[in-house]
Amino acid sequence: MQKKKEKLLNKIVKKDYNNELEMILEKKSFDESAKNLLLSILYKIEASYKDYEKTKRNVMDKEEYVKRFIQIIQENCDSMTICKMNSKEVNILGDKTFLVDKENKRIICYPIERKLLYCIAKISKKDIIIKQDYPIICETLSNAINIGNNIETVEPLRDFNGYSWTTTCSEIESVSYNLIYQNLRLLLGQEFLEKWIKNKEFIIDYMELLKNKLEEKYGTKNQKDIIKIIEKLSVLLEVNYNSKKKEEFAKEKKEIEKTLKKIDNKEKYIEMITKQKRKLTKEIKIIDATVNDKKLLEAEYIKRNEELPSKKKIFSVRVLSKRMKKERDEKLEELEKLNELLNPRKYISYKKEMEQKYEYLKLIEIDDFEKEINKMLIKLQKVFLKVYQLKIQKTNEKSEIVDCIYEFRYYTVLPYNEKINIGEVKEIQKELQETRRLLLDKAQELKVIIVTSKNKEIDNEILKNIFTIRILTLEDIYIKLIKEKDKVYIQLFDDDIFEEKVELKDFGNINKKDLEIKVNKKIKVFN
């Protein structure tokens, strides 16, 4: 209720966000080109956001989006440099187009508006948004969701210009991360993902919340399938794009293999833990004796400094004493952890954690990452379409089914790779067709769209074209069947845009009696 009141108030009292941004920029030491670029981004977003909101559905309100954009600049950006050719920043960037330094609140970027907006989206985010209770994926899945959200943040500027909607695949940082994020958004809604990303504490376990919401909406099996696939995809994409991470995971995998061998033999495992405990206890006793004996402490000070390089030498005996006390605390903490591992319950959970880690780390052994990523993305789309059908089946309001039509249209034109959109992926044509038919049937049942033919096959073949067009307002589209010799063509258009004619293949000899619309006459598709 409060949100509705705020929206109404925003409509009545329109804020001058341009003026607000200018006032903030006056206090910033950004160069002039950065300020101009930011003002240009804001102007274009204000012009395009209405079309973005209409086309995509279930997105952040424009006012909320703009407020967040300005807030990030105010709170998270202390330094912003637009990189010019032959400047020293070119050397800092190397082969990259931007640099985001979260710690120092610093952005360096080439003068490309969508890249600068991506930097602004990125600089405000916490790197890890999943609890450490989920080994490996706490990092990889956090990265996947954050990147997906960054790409979505840029979308109103990248794909909309105030009068048309165009997606250029090469301008999307990662179509795979984008697809995973949009799958989750379409199933769970924008609000859930935004809350997760903005969450700065781990009081709420959003990973558990994600599972619960998926299970509640789409059932246990579908939930498990979706989670398993996106977890594996996050690891595969991480190592495919990040060679350093692949090396890091390879080392960790070797260590876990050693640990698992020891854990499997319970007697040897207990023996190993006991030895480590004895070693730590002995080291703690030596530290206690050294810190409490002036002569021993001085001797340790001389010994350590002889072994250290000049830059790392210990400043004084007092500094050494503090350092050794800290070392003692760390060893006590380690000892406590070892004591816990001897607890039978802790032993089981520790073993399970190691096995879970190893399952993900084994993925680095795959020979062809691109092939495996493609395979997993196809799996994810098949499950997504299966559960999206459940969403359609539960929908009984006209406004909701209109939203579903817009959403499904948006989904089918999402880039799958640099060559094709989702709607063109061969491996999921059966699932796409089933979802489309279900959606059209439901829309006709609720009298949202017209029936074009008594023959269901022909009707679906005609109406499926509404999911491929990029006319912004679907409610304004008209359809016309055009007969030329022995061929029948479909043409969709509104007052301003005419789509190319599409041949109605395999239905050349349509019986006019089967048609619910007249040939060569334009008919409005939405009732």
Question: Residue 361 class from Cβ within 10 Å (0-12 exposed, 13-18 middle, 19+ buried)?
Answer: buried
- Model confidence at 130: pLDDT above 50: yes
Conformational region of residue 219, where left means phi above 0, alpha means psi within -120 to 50, and beta covers everything else? left
Strand 106-109, strand 79-82: pairing: parallel
Q: What is the pLDDT of residue 13?
A: 44
Q: Is the dihedral of CA 395, 401, 406, 408 positive or negative?
A: positive
Highest mean pLDDT of the ranges 47-56, 193-202, 254-263, 312-321: 47-56
**pLDDT score for 509:** 63
Structure confidence at residue 507 (pLDDT): 59
Does the predicted model carry a pTM greater than 0.95?
no
The neighbouring-strand residues paired with 165 are 160
Helix or strand holding residue 523 (H, E): strand 523-524
Q: Give the full edge-to-edge strand order of the sheet including 79-82.
A: 79-82, 106-109, 98-101
What 3-state DSSP class applies to 346? helix
Cα gap 72→326, rounded to integer Å: 38
pLDDT at 12 over 50: no
> Averaging pLDDT over each range in 3-12, 241-250, 351-360, 404-413, which range is the top one?
404-413
Residue 395 DSSP SS3:
coil
pLDDT tens digits, residue range 20-36? 999 999 999 998 999 99
Instruction: Report the pLDDT value the prediction gives residue 505, as an integer from 0 to 100.
Output: 74
Q: Tens digit of pLDDT for each residue in 168-221?
A: 999 999 999 999 999 999 999 999 999 999 988 888 999 999 999 999 999 999
Specify whether the CB–CB gap between 77 and 123 falls below 8 A: yes
Q: Which residues contact 424 (CB under 8 A, 6 or more apart)?
A: 416
DSSP 217-266: HH-HHHHHHHHHHHHHHHHHHHHHH-HHHHHHHHHHHHHHHHHHHHHHSH
Q: How far is CA 168 from CA 98, 155, 371, 419, 471, in A?
A: 20, 11, 23, 11, 17
pLDDT tens column, 78-88? 999 999 877 78
Q: For residue 508, what pLDDT band results from cuts at 50, 70 and 90? A: low
Average pLDDT, the chain: 90
* Distances, alpha carbon 523 to alpha carbons 199, 353, 404, 483, 493, in Å: 49, 61, 22, 15, 10
Does the structure show a pLDDT above 50 at 70? yes
Closest among 245, 237, 113 to 179, alpha carbons compared:
237
